[in-house]
Chain A
Amino acid sequence: MDIDLDPIESIAVPIYHHYHATSAKAITPFLHAIKRGELMGHLSSATGKVLFPPLGACPESGEATHEPVILKDSGTVIGFTTVHLPIPGSKLVPPFTVANILLDGADQTCSHLISECELGDVVIGMRVQAVWRPKDQWDYSLENIEYFKPTGEALVDVDELKQHCLERAKLRVKNRVKGNSTEVHHA
């Protein structure tokens, strides 16, 4: 026989799970640094590249990374996108621009917002500078930086920058072989 009823078309089945997380060994110093307003990357001893934000593993060599390098809060736009659709659960109001930014001294880009300029003005190679939230709002989060703003400096040739980074990384490996340092580097 059939059931002479309209089928239930949808049922809500929300799932909630609770977790207690601890910060990973390699990432913990980075989190303490950002709380102090410092941007801490990791130097990969295998490749000489500075990874930011650090995840504790060098994806090129598979080696563990832990050697801290404090980076400046300025950098170069390597790529960007302007978001026009609202993201569920996000505080950001579209349209807004997210860029892959190569911090000065780093060899890996990180993503952050670009503001204080017209959407159409963002270009690849643009020099940008972090705008920090008030110190009393700082937490263990990259959101301590509210956004990056253009500095007005001349555009950077990204291909040249890439070349420069590769050469610098090679040099770091070379220097490292000469004198093994565990000091905090200021790139």
Chain B
Amino acid sequence: MREVGIIAYAQSPQIRQERALNEVEMLMPMLKVALVESGLTMDDIDFVCSGSCDYIAGGAFSFVGAVDALGATPCKMESHVEMDAAWALYESWLKIQSGEIKTALIYGFGKSSVGSLPDIMSQQLDPYYMAPLWPDSISLAALQANTLLQTGRYNEEDFAAVVVDSRRKAKANDNAQLFGDVSIEQLLAEPYIASPLRRHDCCPITDGVSVMIIAEKSVATKQCERPAFIRGIDHRMEVHQLGLRQLAESTSTTLALEKVKEQSGIGSGGVDIAEIYAPFSPQTLILKDALGLTDTVNINPSGGALAGHIMMTAGLDRMGMAYRAISEGQANRALCHATSGPCLQHNMVSVLEGI
């Protein structure tokens, strides 16, 4: 396996509604920040890959428009996934593995405030059995949360404790949308929006963009004092129909973790921090168990997706946040997780290491 390191990462503030700037306008300054951090110019970037979804803001081919921000004339080697940008990173990583390229720039953007994200997410469902009922993403996560409650492993206080932890840690994250000190009692006094989920159990609607630059080791070590090397990365998907899955587990996450252990020799016991993409608080608990994380690991020091959730890049952001912790010397090894699809259908696990 070729060694690949993250050498730069830039994220816009994760705000509730960006009225004035469109996706391209949000993207341009963050591209600059990431390029400056990497010490590279666009000419040094061999490949660009992005993650976005046109349904979110209702703009047809907005991902093509975003290419303008790259200075894409003459043409760049470019690709796009209609998935979280973590999968754009995976495609870029594969391309480096193939030996075709040495550097890649990955970006993702989402302006969820323009539309009705929970309803739009229904479009992910099968069109015959589920989509005609329009179960929104919150309702589906609530069904999953209820399934988790029924196992007796966790209760609603545990859900609230995840939120308390997220808000507290997010106080140190300048880009967080939701942060501060809240108590479990306060949170449990709030009404349900889809039982057993309350509003704070759900990731906030967020507008923003993120950019990351990765490079093969020879470039990474030259350009960056302390890159975060991707020691292992794998993703697995589960069956589409909810009734055919074990919703209180995340078997695909566990399977991906096994593969990452094989690649890296590093298990969840060997990491300092974990950045988990759980858009709903109970999913943090499901994933914590699926990843075998104990309390010795600092989970979501950034606050995670409950503190800010740029749809289509929140998974890449987990790796970005872990890279930052590593590059700033707060951690040496990080376990990262990204998800896609309803109720944690598709999961990516990676291990980053500083040296």
**In the complex, A touching B, CB below 8 Å?**
yes
B191 at the interface (CB under 8 A from A): no
Given contacts A18-B115, A19-B57, A21-B58, contact A59 B22 (CB under 8 A): no
Q: Tell me if B's interface is mostly helix, strand, loop or mixed.
A: helix
CB distance from A11 to the nearest CB of B (A): 7
Given contacts A13-B132, A19-B114, A22-B20, contact A62 B70 (CB under 8 A): yes
B68 CB contact (under 8 Å) in A13, A21, A57: A57
| Contact status A27-B115, CB under 8 Å | no
| Contact status B71-A13, CB under 8 Å | no
Residues of B within 8 Å of A58, CB to CB, are 68, 71
| Contact status B68-A55, CB under 8 Å | yes
| Contact status B28-A15, CB under 8 Å | no
Number of residue pairs across A and B with beta carbons under 8 Å? 70
| Contact status B114-A20, CB under 8 Å | yes
CB distance from B186 to the nearest CB of A (A): 31
Residues of A within 8 Å of B42, CB to CB, are 62
CB distance from A9 to the nearest CB of B (A): 13
B119 CB contact (under 8 Å) in A17, A55, A56, A61: A17
Q: Digitize A23-47: 1 where CB-to-B-CB distance is under 8 Å, 0 elsewhere.
A: 0111100000000000000000000
B97 at the interface (CB under 8 A from A): no
| Contact status B73-A60, CB under 8 Å | yes
Residues of B within 8 Å of A15, CB to CB, are 123
Given contacts A17-B58, A21-B58, contact A57 B28 (CB under 8 A): yes
| Contact status B115-A24, CB under 8 Å | no
Residues of B within 8 Å of A157, CB to CB, are none
Q: Digitize B128-156: 1 where CB-to-A-CB distance is under 8 Å, 0 elsewhere.
A: 10011000000000000000000000000
Residue of B nearest to A24 (CB): B22
Given contacts A55-B24, A57-B28, A62-B31, contact A17 B116 (CB under 8 A): yes
A145 at the interface (CB under 8 A from B): no
| Contact status A61-B24, CB under 8 Å | no
A98 at the interface (CB under 8 A from B): no
Residues of A within 8 Å of B20, CB to CB, are 22, 24-25
| Contact status B71-A17, CB under 8 Å | no
CB distance from A16 to the nearest CB of B (A): 10
Residues of A within 8 Å of B25, CB to CB, are 24-26, 56-57, 64
Known: A11-B128, A59-B73. 6 other contacts (CB 8 A): A18-B116, A20-B114, A55-B65, A59-B68, A60-B71, A62-B72
- Return the 10 tightest CB-CB contacts between A and B, nearest first: A62-B71, A24-B22, A57-B68, A19-B58, A59-B68, A25-B20, A60-B73, A19-B115, A59-B73, A61-B71
Please name 16 pairs of A and B residues whose Cβ atoms are closer than 8 Å in the assembled complex, sorted by A.
A13-B127, A13-B131, A17-B115, A18-B115, A19-B58, A19-B115, A22-B114, A24-B21, A24-B25, A25-B20, A27-B22, A57-B24, A60-B73, A62-B42, A62-B69, A62-B71
